[in-house]
A and B are shown apart, each in its own frame.
Chain A
């Protein structure tokens, strides 16, 4: 299909129509797996995964140790209500025997799924590098030649373990060890897929690198493991988007994302997630930022039954900067427990958290954030702004800000607001011919606009479109 994506408008249209389709039709493909693990989790499953992947011994040992940690750790006592039966989940599914090397080799049913996601067209002209995860494995990937010429490594993490063992071993699980929390331990034991990126010193990637993920098996967990290393003075914007079809039974998604941002480097990691309403999305994301480095997390959370996600930046050396922009939309039966964690470990570091949440139709959104300033972090600054918009009396919003300061020579600001859509605003828009639904959608989109404008064009459109779909039928 020759879709012209050369103008933002065209790209926007395509993206909008694709998202519309995804949400309107539940287009689960027939499941044709060459391997399907049984439900439940024990050492045997972990061995099986390691066998399947033909992994080096150190990774196998790491997985087994992580499994022990997982079993010994209690469930977190805060956040949302995780009523999951860990024995009723598939921990690994392989979609086809080998990874598609070129587009021609990708199985047809997978292609059809991607067609609906708009990936092949989008990839041709608009995207620079696409990693698409189907089930638990990356099946197709391409990377523009100019990137590889500059020494950028971009592959799925499984391949990275085999192809770049030294690099992976140096950083893997160093930022988020399995001991960090129960779900990080779980991911460490059964992880599969995810992206590995290395940007060499001084290399600036000017366009966003993108990846698409999708869950496609009932009762199946997804445990991607992403590791990004941005070397000194380098720059990257990584974009990850998820759109999942509807399913009837519980499903667990528990990713780990580790990012190393070295001296003077910059990394922006953008996520938009729109999970089906039965999915538990329990993600650990953390970056370490060194001297004068900047790490930005942009995080849009829609859908899911429960999302618990608090992207973190540890500012390790002077001048490091961390930022989290987070949008959460909670509708009926959904709980978005999202926020951020900023840890100032060195002098003159600065952080900013901006969180916008929308609760509708009985949905619940919580902001949970921690700003921690260590003893050595004199002259550090932190700002937190969280705004909540509640669309009806059934819905709920809470704020849990935690501030821990060990050094008095710092500046910390916190602002929070809760608002409702005003009748006067609605009337103003309606008096111009906008229906009530259009008017409230417009107000909601306006509310998140300060964050949406930070997204790449086609994601911004997708975000607005997702909000529209979420708002549909909200009035009446």
Chain B
């Protein structure tokens, strides 16, 4: 399955080289889980090199948006579009399986990463890194050379102050909350995505670790990555000053501003937002009530 819709004939180095032309565009995205609508028309445009903060109260749909962009099969897109342009090629993300999206440059750092018993972090990452760097690789074809991979992994781990012993541990198995989040950043560092969604990558990290994470994300992303940072705190944004801040409520992005919006919300919370967008606030209320009703059954 190839989601190629247009191809850039010119392929001029100037165009391909200008990362500002690489863009992720979400339009009117509606997503349901088990037939239950959760996202109700999300619009979002992220260019490479930009940092976006995605905020919003618990249950407003931030993680759902991350899953939908990454291609979780349980998150059904019922309306809208998600388009990715990289190197002058346009992909309809909704036509691509999760692995193909990853190979085209999408990355999601999970709010709750899965553990995979018996699979060593290094082995898993060597596969992943190979596939993402060689998007056309077929199953069974060679992996990137062990030595080269090990060297790179080691230096990235050192950068993240991770004990290299971790590479030999099973993926997320028995990791502490903070270790899991660090491992997510490590994966991002190895995969060098073009667009990354970091879903509460700061949760579970101690004070020093958050600072380090903030710094590392900025270093890894640099000016090359389009980053969406989902967070309830301001620490992660210290080194990743958002160009845009979006507020999600009741399954929609209701307001977009600059860094000052993030600062406002960290100080004052969501009361103003709820008051300003009564429709979305009503959606939020309806969703919580439905859930309570379901729980009562």
Judging by beta carbons under 8 Å apart, are B119 and A433 in contact? no
Within 8 A of A (CB), among B70-111: 70-74, 97-99, 101-103, 107-108, 110
Q: How far is the CA of A92 from the CA of B116 in the complex (A)?
A: 48
Q: How far is the CA of A243 from the CA of B216 in the complex (A)?
A: 49
Q: How far is the CA of A445 from the CA of B119 in the complex (A)?
A: 7
> Contact string, A133-150, partner B, CB cutoff 8 A, digits 1/0?
000000000000000000
Judging by beta carbons under 8 Å apart, are A447 and B99 in contact? no
Judging by beta carbons under 8 Å apart, are A9 and B99 in contact? no
Q: Is A106 an interface residue (CB 8 A)?
A: no
Q: How far is the CA of A432 from the CA of B103 in the complex (A)?
A: 8
- B219, chain A: closest CB distance, angstroms: 21
Q: Is B273 an interface residue (CB 8 A)?
A: no
Q: Is B267 an interface residue (CB 8 A)?
A: no
Chain B residues with CB under 8 Å of A165's CB are none
Q: Is B35 an interface residue (CB 8 A)?
A: no
Within 8 A of B (CB), among A306-350: none
Residues A438 and B127 in contact in the complex (CB < 8 Å), given A423-B73, A431-B70: yes
Q: Is A427 an interface residue (CB 8 A)?
A: yes
14 additional contacts (CB under 8 A) given A434-B127, A436-B97: A427-B73, A428-B114, A429-B116, A430-B98, A431-B108, A432-B99, A432-B132, A432-B187, A433-B103, A434-B99, A435-B139, A436-B99, A442-B119, A446-B119
Judging by beta carbons under 8 Å apart, are A434 and B118 in contact? no
The 9 closest A-B pairs by CB, nearest first: A446-B118, A449-B118, A433-B131, A432-B128, A446-B119, A433-B102, A430-B98, A428-B114, A433-B132
Complex: chain A residue closest to B133, CB-CB:
A433
- B56, chain A: closest CB distance, angstroms: 22
Chain A residues packing against B (C-beta within 8 Å): 9, 422-425, 427-439, 442-443, 445-450, 468, 472
Chain B residues with CB under 8 Å of A447's CB are 117-118
Q: List 10 A-B contacts (CB under 8 A).
A: A427-B114, A429-B124, A430-B97, A431-B98, A431-B102, A432-B132, A435-B131, A442-B123, A447-B118, A450-B118
Chain A residues with CB under 8 Å of B97's CB are 430, 436
Judging by beta carbons under 8 Å apart, are A428 and B119 in contact? no
- A423, chain B: closest CB distance, angstroms: 7
- B288, chain A: closest CB distance, angstroms: 24
Chain A residues with CB under 8 Å of B191's CB are 432-433
Judging by beta carbons under 8 Å apart, are B119 and A449 in contact? yes
Q: How far is the CA of A435 from the CA of B97 in the complex (A)?
A: 9
Chain B residues with CB under 8 Å of A435's CB are 99, 131, 139
Q: How far is the CA of A431 from the CA of B131 in the complex (A)?
A: 11
Residues A428 and B113 in contact in the complex (CB < 8 Å), given A433-B103, A435-B139, A442-B124: yes
Residues A9 and B146 in contact in the complex (CB < 8 Å), given A432-B102, A433-B191: yes
Q: How far is the CA of A446 from the CA of B123 in the complex (A)?
A: 11
- B52, chain A: closest CB distance, angstroms: 19
Q: Is B170 an interface residue (CB 8 A)?
A: yes
Q: How far is the CA of A422 from the CA of B123 in the complex (A)?
A: 20
Interface residues on B, range: 20 to 34
Q: How far is the CA of A448 from the CA of B117 in the complex (A)?
A: 9
Within 8 A of A (CB), among B196-228: none
Q: How far is the CA of A367 from the CA of B287 in the complex (A)?
A: 47
- B259, chain A: closest CB distance, angstroms: 29
Q: How far is the CA of A429 from the CA of B124 in the complex (A)?
A: 8
Chain B residues with CB under 8 Å of A446's CB are 116-119, 170
- B70, chain A: closest CB distance, angstroms: 5
Chain A residues with CB under 8 Å of B113's CB are 428
Complex: chain B residue closest to A439, CB-CB:
B99
Complex: chain A residue closest to B106, CB-CB:
A431
Among B116, B140, B146, chain A packs the most CB atoms within 10 A around the CB of: B116
Judging by beta carbons under 8 Å apart, are A437 and B170 in contact? no
Q: How far is the CA of A433 from the CA of B128 in the complex (A)?
A: 5
Judging by beta carbons under 8 Å apart, are B117 and A427 in contact? no
Complex: chain B residue closest to A443, CB-CB:
B116
Chain B residues with CB under 8 Å of A433's CB are 99, 102-103, 127-128, 131-132, 191
- A13, chain B: closest CB distance, angstroms: 10
Complex: chain A residue closest to B99, CB-CB:
A430
Within 8 A of A (CB), among B115-171: 116-119, 123-125, 127-128, 131-132, 139-140, 146, 170
Complex: chain A residue closest to B109, CB-CB:
A431
Judging by beta carbons under 8 Å apart, are A442 and B127 in contact? yes
Among B107, B110, B114, chain A packs the most CB atoms within 10 A around the CB of: B114
- B290, chain A: closest CB distance, angstroms: 23
Chain B residues with CB under 8 Å of A434's CB are 99, 124, 127-128, 131
Residues A437 and B73 in contact in the complex (CB < 8 Å), given A430-B99, A446-B118, A447-B118: no
Complex: chain B residue closest to A444, CB-CB:
B118
Judging by beta carbons under 8 Å apart, are A425 and B114 in contact? yes
Chain A residues with CB under 8 Å of B117's CB are 446-447, 449
Judging by beta carbons under 8 Å apart, are A427 and B119 in contact? no
